[in-house]
Structure 1
Amino acid sequence: MTVRVPLVTPGSRPELAEIEQRIMAERGRVSLLYQVLLNSAPIANGWERMLTAVRNQTAIPASLREIIILRIAVLNRAAYEFDAHIPHAEKAGVSAAKIDALRAGQTGTGALFTDAEQVVLELTDAMTRDVQVPDALFARVSALFTPQDVVELVATVAAYNMVSRFLVALNIGH
């Protein structure tokens, strides 16, 4: 399948120069995702700012963030997102065994994941599959994390559900 909207070649629209420069500064390149987003300057601008905050400005450990992202990619069948985040997960210290387990959908496998990782995976599953988070699960999350961490975890799950659903709907990376 092909991407469902035209790609915007970086440098082809002068009015997008500032946004493209910010994307380059944060990401090092204008990826396929951003070439699609650039069809709408306001969306590309807001997306870049929001995802930069979620990905680079929270207190959530990078390894935990990447575990969340990989799990969401599997749940939402966003292979492009999963593959794009493997290098980030590896850089953050997520083991090959954990990446393989996440790819296979095996998140409840014994002692592979820490207690904190396990509860965050359960939060990710609840938010992605059911939207609502059961009170008992939320109590477990709150017992392990500060209010700031909880907000940042929930925002990360919500944001990357948006990313994966955007990718899948527009056939980005297929």
Structure 2
Amino acid sequence: MSTSRIAPVEPGTRPRLADIEARILAARGRITPLYRVLLNSAPVVDGWEAMLTAIRQKTSLAPRVRELVILRVAVLNRAPYEFEAHVPHARAAGLLDEVIEGLRAGAAPDAVRGLDAGERGVLALTDTMTRDIEVPDAVFEPLRVHFDEQGLIELAATVAAYNMVSRFLVALRIGH
């Protein structure tokens, strides 16, 4: 098992980070290994926390949809730490173990049992944005039945944000 490529910052050891650490604790309840590495750059951790707090706590997306996206991106980007970190959130959001295990196995959107048509569309969008980047109309347009303009923006932003998170974790070997 490898260790992080960047040494984590022990919370409370750098007085100039006290305000940022307090915001992270208030938003998340703890400072995870990811945030301990991010603390090496005050501007990055500050912006990261603001953006990810908006994505996770302030959008109109149903928590179930958000966690579906996060788990799928983690699998596609080979980020098991991210996947495991979000399994409790996914369960709390109502995703059943059969869905979680289908995602863990990398099943195609139509093969994940326990999802409705909108959720399968969310997985198709997530797969396409993550693997191909460019999203054809055939993938995007069916989502309009399930999401308004705000929801579509928030959905695409969630997929994009968690691609950033998982790729950062993998590149820096955080949580390995």
TM-score, normalised via structure 2 length: 0.97
Deviations 1:23-54 (A, max 9, x none): 00010000000000000000000000000000
Letter in structure 2 aligned against 1:122: A
Deviation >3 Å, runs of 4+: none
- Which consecutive unaligned segments of at least 5 residues does structure 2 have? none
The equivalent residue for 1:54 is 55
CA distance in 1, matches of 2:138, 2:80: 31
Q: Alignment length, in residue pairs? A: 174
Match of 2:134 in 1: 132
Give the alignment partner of residue 122 of structure 2, picking from 115, 120, 143: 120
1:157 to 153, 156, 159: 159
Q: Distance in 2 between matches of 1:76 and 1:158?
A: 12
Aligned residue for 2:150?
A: 148
Question: Is the Cα–Cα contact under 8 Å of residues 99 and 113 in structure 2 kept in the other structure?
Answer: no
Write out aligned runs for 1:52-91 (5 A). 52-91=53-92
Kept in 1, the 8 Å contact 2:72–2:123? The answer is yes
Give the 3 Å change call, closer, same or farther, for CA 12–75 of structure 1 in structure 2.
same
Identity across the alignment (%): 57
Separation in 1 of the partners of 2:138 and 2:164?
25
SS of the residue 1:132 aligns to: coil
Structure 1: give runs of 5+ residues left out of the alignment: none
Separation (CA, whole Å) in 2 of partners of 1:18 and 1:2: 27
Give the aligned residue type for 2:29: G
Distance 2:137 2:117 in 1: 18
* 1:108 pairs with 2:127: no
Q: 1:3-42, aligned counterparts within 5 Å?
A: 3-42=4-43
Distance in 1, matches of 2:113 and 2:20, equals 44
Cα deviation 1:67-122 (Å, max 9, x = unaligned): 10000000000000000000000111110110010000113226521111000000
